Amino acid sequence: MSNPNIGRHLSAEQKAALSERFAVGAPARAPRADARHGEGRGMIIGLMGYAGAGKSEVARHLRERHGFETPHIGRPLKRMLAELLRDIGYDEATIIRFVDGDLKRSLIPELGITSTEAQQTLGTEWGRNCVGADFWLSLWLGKVDRVIQSGGRVVQESVRFANEVDSLRQRGALLVEVQRPGVGPISGHPSEVLPARADLVLQNGGTIADLRSAVDAVLSSKSLCETPVTH
């Protein structure tokens, strides 16, 4: 059965192309020596959505069930913050909780801000504004291009800015927005603004099993061919 919560209307040509590329179990395409980005290579899915929408769960399922690699564009930020907390004197268990766990939105007394706010300002105010708008993106693409050139699959679980969207589009990526009832921006920070309209939308309004089934449907050629849903 098709999933009524997925996507927007696609032309017959788009559906046929997506059906071939994103079929469950389909082998990754071998790269051509003369291929441009997004042609004849592996595939990329870029996830958008507000914090708490379920992007991490989608990325986890794509990795564990469908063999995607999950290099996170924000991984250097997490490592930088972890090293700072380590230098302050926090134990490893607490660092994990602050950086990407249940204390992520709790105040870090020594910094006067939360882990989320620290990563946002490291990423945007320092990295993008002081070093360069493409700083983090260039680091991430260096890893991703090697994967897709070898026919691998990549999911980026946190697409936040227009230049990231542009680079993903150039590589033939599928942009998916994860929506969850009652979840919206947690602040007015620029990284909290969705950077583009997605190709498909996943509605995360049920259980984790429901969300995983919706992800499987996105990768199913049958679902893509039978889902003319608009958003």
Looking at residue 97, what is its pLDDT?
Answer: 95
Looking at residue 31, what is its pLDDT?
Answer: 34
Looking at residue 15, what is its pLDDT?
Answer: 45
pLDDT band at 110 (very low <50, low <70, confident <90, very high): very high
pLDDT tens for each residue of 54-79: 998 999 999 999 999 988 888 899 99
Instruction: Flag whether pLDDT at 36 surpasses 60.
Output: no
Give the pTM.
0.68
Please, what are the domains in the chain?
12-73+133-226 (3.40.50.300), 75-131 (no CATH)
- Strand 174-179 with 200-203, pairing: parallel
Looking at residue 229, what is its pLDDT?
Answer: 29
Which two tokens mark 37? 């980005």
Give the rounded percent of residues in the chain with a pLDDT score beyond 90: 45
Interatomic CA distance for residues 185 and 181, integer angstroms:
12
Lowest mean per-residue pLDDT among 3-12, 36-45, 50-59: 3-12
Instruction: Flag whether pLDDT at 33 surpasses 80.
Output: no
What's the sign of the alpha-carbon dihedral 78, 93, 46, 180?
Answer: negative
